Amino acid sequence: MVEFASKIVLVTGAASGVGAGTAKAFAKHGTRLCLVDRDEENLAKTETECKNVGAEKASFKDFDDTYNINVRAPLFLTQLAIPYLEKTKGSIVNISSIASKEYADASQMIYCMSKSSVDHFTKIAALELAKKGIRVNAVNPAFMKTNIFQSWLNSADDAEELVQGRAKLVPLGRKNVKVDDVINAIMFLASDRAKMITGTCLFVDGARHLTGI
């Protein structure tokens, strides 16, 4: 049942009996599981057994790590920079993602949630800091072929297959976004040419987010 590999399942009473059996049955299909029970000792055993038969590891550590990097860090850095930005009438450009809005990837739930938070933070910060003369914007790129994405995959062949597959989904030219495309957007938003632009999430994706796929 391949369909279960993309789903997230909450199983209550998962420490024993039907609950434990149900959890392990879903685990065999690679399902992401959230297991709940008052019996912590046996619940831990069920968790281990589920991982052994194929369940993905969707842990709260993953959530914390992603939010610390994508949301907490920009928030704290902004707070620290405000006094200096106010003096210079500087601006902030956050790096968000196409995954924050119309396009979402079921296999990247936590990442998509974090980038949605970045978008809302950008807009609210823009309102709050406008009175200080500080602009806040974000750039939302589509998939890019960077060094880091190779670490997600098993081989160079897998990487090339992913690159070609994503390129076919981009309406404008049917090609992937380049790093320079994103840099150009950042430079524009940071420049005086964008002096009346704030609270904007600028999609650099060749209209990819408009396709809904």
Q: What is the pLDDT of residue 102?
A: 57
Same-domain pairing of 111 and 9 = no
Is 67 considered catalytic here? no
Q: Are residues 41 and 76 in the same domain?
A: no
Same-domain pairing of 120 and 170: yes
Total of domains in the chain: 2
State the Cα–Cα distance between residues 184 and 169, nearest whole angstrom: 22
The answer to whether residues 116 and 159 belong to one domain is: yes
Contact 170, 210 (CB under 8 A): no
The full length of the chain comes to 213
Instruction: Verify that 22 and 75 share a domain, yes or no.
Output: no
H or E segment and range at residue 45: helix 40-52
Catalytic residue among 67, 84, 103, 111: 111
User: Is the domain of 38 the same as that of 117?
Assistant: no
CA distance 70 to 121: 11
The pLDDT score that the predictor gives to residue 100 is 85
- Asked if 48 and 64 sit in the same domain, the reply is no
Report which of 85, 76, 192, 204 is spatially closest to residue 138, judged by C-alpha positions.
204
Looking at residue 175, what DSSP letter applies?
-
CA distance 75 to 125: 9
Whether 133 contacts 86, CB under 8 Å: yes
Q: Are residues 91 and 22 in the same domain?
A: no
Query: Which structure tokens are listed for 126?
Result: 């823009």
Q: Are residues 83 and 107 in the same domain?
A: yes
The separation between CA 100 and the C-alpha centre of its own chain, rounded to angstroms, equals 7
Asked if 192 and 146 sit in the same domain, the reply is: yes
Residue 136 sits in a domain whose CATH number is 3.40.50.720
* Domain extent at residue 140: 60-210
Residue-level pLDDT, tens digit, the chain, 213 residues: 566 766 788 899 999 999 999 999 999 888 888 899 999 999 999 999 998 888 766 766 777 888 899 999 999 999 999 999 999 999 999 999 888 875 556 667 788 889 999 999 999 999 999 999 999 999 998 877 666 555 555 555 565 666 667 767 777 776 777 889 899 999 999 999 999 999 999 988 767 777 766
| CA dihedral of 98, 102, 107, 112, whole degrees rounded to 10 | 60
